[in-house]
Structure 1
């Protein structure tokens, strides 16, 4: 009787035992296959699997976003941002955008990956001269290409003091811009750097919608952090294929300053690492965009005689020559002063936007008087990126041709932000209603976005 019961129990347990044995065999197989993987570590610039979305402006399929994955160089204080194949120099080279401690005396070497082979060469270093006096500055690390490696796919940078680096310990950057394209998916790309503690939702939406009216079809935002409502707006535009958010995590590595100069806020590097982010954006879109604009979310470059950048740039190139960069004069529109009463075509929007956090640029139409030249005034640029080698916050440090100044009667920049104590009184400001020529289309577009993101109160 006992033997019969044991046999029945065994029959009941047999399926479960079989399943357990199969699971153990599968785990063993996974473990063995993992042990057989090659030891190289490729830091591929992608924070996770690439996501592709449809750009509703151009109709093209584009990357939803890429991360700037920072790598610390062993044996040095240097941080690596990104790597690109530089086609314009003779001979060609790999250019690595880096952040370097300016007082450190270090020799670097490059390990270039070509067809499963590694080629090691000595690197040259050029620290950008515009670092605002902070200990760290942006640098170009140049890696010469050996004859047997003219198209490397990855590069690792280490201290030259490390002889014969072990490939298993190297951290590689993907070498971007493999081909010097002549046809570009975007006409105008705007680079914003860097977004931190950002809550100015209304002005962000207004700026993005204005840029689209001007002809921009790609906006790149280097983001440190922002409010949940701002993130909702970024997600909305990202899903549409218009905005690419680049996570910018420099504060994990260095003490970033929140101001432009060390005496205003001491730190390791200027203003959240704005300069290396701008240089990364320039190279990232060198062969993806016909033009690149470097400015902030509270800045708009407005044409005065035509309605869009698409109409403006041919005029500038006819006047100053093609393959150029163009400087646009800055004009401050202090948010401390408001249009009273608002223009009639702005009134309907005010009731809808009253509870949306942020600045309404349509109600700040008085600018500070233009100062006599030559005066530095925080100008910003639009450039053919293939004509530029090094950029900074305001302008270009090195290019194939000198940048041309754009006459303010042709176009200039509208910078709408709080100015604090500047000694000016309301009667000294100058009315400028150019923005109102866009107000009808802008108001409708902003309302649509705020409704779709559920940020417009019922």
Structure 2
């Protein structure tokens, strides 16, 4: 039932500042907990018949009635919330949820919303909106969303330089903590305007798993809260970026995005979600390329924390279907409503597989125990094609951040 407008009490004036913003709040510096079991992230876009969707993390087994309190034109309106918990929760007790709030008559453009479990005296989580207008001109063409950085020690200058070369204008990093050297690199790219670091303090409120499944590491929520972070990034950049890519720092979609996306738009249709097949590159194998090719000589990088992706150029054979492929996506963020680690939850029909002859993704990481023999790996020199541009750019970053001295670079 939707409540009528009423004057705003003094108590609620501390909730609402009437700023006129409409889309996503900057919750993540210190998330607010209500009723012990539910955590709100942000209110994203309108979606008829519900005009406000608030992303939350909720205890799946608990049934709870929630109220939306919307502030419009110096008056407060209330409505009964609908709760939609995402089905892709990997079996953990908590899942990402959409809290859907109908807009009452006379409250077409709310500036604030609070979610509570009962009467308004039970202070819940209050959040503001951004981007009231539906925009068609974007600040960024390509935004990459990285979630979630926890005890991270891999220095990211090679990743950031490659992404810039591919055409990425913005990288969003959801960070709990990282090494001092990694922070130095994040600060460097933040100052340049490439990176936005979102403080991700979820581990202060829930026990976060370090693994993908409860049987691997029992906890409250999947892999550091990766799924709500990805959904937040989707909505946060919905009207800031033409396309959003959801992938990890050690995953690289090739070739050049500026040239690739027009091809995909023409072949599969514009404004869609494009799926890229994953190709594992195990770093356990240090293999040289076949003659006459050679690996780049970068001895000065040897003491820098992380993986030099230019020295790993052999990938595993693709597992035949129906084996799951750990694919990732580049999507028009305005075409989808909910995402997960691998792809889109709603609406799935928005997505289309990209022909691997046109583009593919490379995931460069330790694979652990494997029965593969070196001779079974497949040589792929695509990354080597970026050697000249990357090497010089990375050396500049290492010098400017003080990770390497001028003498070590000569």
TM-score normalised by length of structure 2:
0.90
Q: Which residue of 2 aligns with 1:146?
A: 104
Structure 2 residue matching 1:260: 3-state secondary structure: coil
1:330-378 deviation line (CA, Å, top 9, x unaligned): 0000010113379877433x22211111110011111001122232111
| Stretches (4+) displaced over 4 A | 341-346
**C-alpha separation between the residues in 2 aligned to 1:275 and 1:300?**
20
Unpaired runs of 5+ in structure 2? 1-9, 18-25
Structure 2 residue matching 1:157: 3-state secondary structure: strand
**C-alpha separation between the residues in 2 aligned to 1:39 and 1:322?**
44
Task: Report the CA distance between 1:406 and its aligned residue.
Answer: 0.5
Q: Which residue of 2 aligns with 1:72?
A: 33
Q: Which has the higher helix share?
A: 1
Q: Which residue of 1 aligns with 2:242?
A: 290
Unpaired runs of 5+ in structure 1? 1-36, 45-64
Q: Which residue of 2 aligns with 1:347?
A: 296
How many positions carry a matched residue from both structures? 388
Task: Report the CA distance between 1:38 and its aligned residue.
Answer: 7.1
1:375-413 deviation line (CA, Å, top 9, x unaligned): 211100000001011100001111274310001110000
Q: Which residue of 2 aligns with 1:85?
A: 45
Map 1:17-166 onto structure 2 (within 5 A): 40-42=13-15, 67=28, 69-73=30-34, 75=35, 77-86=37-46, 89-91=47-49, 93-159=51-117, 162-163=118-119, 165-166=120-121
Matched, 1:394 2:359: no
1:212-245 deviation line (CA, Å, top 9, x unaligned): 1110000000001100110000000001111000
Q: Which residue of 1 aligns with 2:268?
A: 320
Task: Report the CA distance between 1:289 and its aligned residue.
Answer: 0.2
Q: Which residue of 2 aligns with 1:372?
A: 320
Q: Alpha carbons of 1:447 and 1:150: their partners in 2 closer, same or farther (altered >3 Å)?
A: same
Q: Which residue of 2 aligns with 1:12?
A: none
Q: Alpha carbons of 1:43 and 1:186: their partners in 2 closer, same or farther (altered >3 Å)?
A: farther
Task: Report the CA distance between 1:69 and its aligned residue.
Answer: 3.9
Task: Report the CA distance between 1:67 and its aligned residue.
Answer: 3.7
> 8 Å contact 1:190–1:294 — kept in the other structure?
yes
Which of these residues, 163, 183, 186, is aligned with residue 231 of structure 1? 183
1:117-153 deviation line (CA, Å, top 9, x unaligned): 1111100000000000000000000011112111111
> 8 Å contact 1:41–1:172 — kept in the other structure?
no
User: What is the alpha-carbon root mean square deviation over aligned residues?
Assistant: 2.0
1:36-89 deviation line (CA, Å, top 9, x unaligned): x97634499xxxxxxxxxxxxxxxxxxxx984542212x351110111232xx3
**C-alpha separation between the residues in 2 aligned to 1:256 and 1:76?**
16
Which of these residues, 164, 171, 185, is aligned with residue 139 of structure 2? 185
Q: Which residue of 2 aligns with 1:9?
A: none
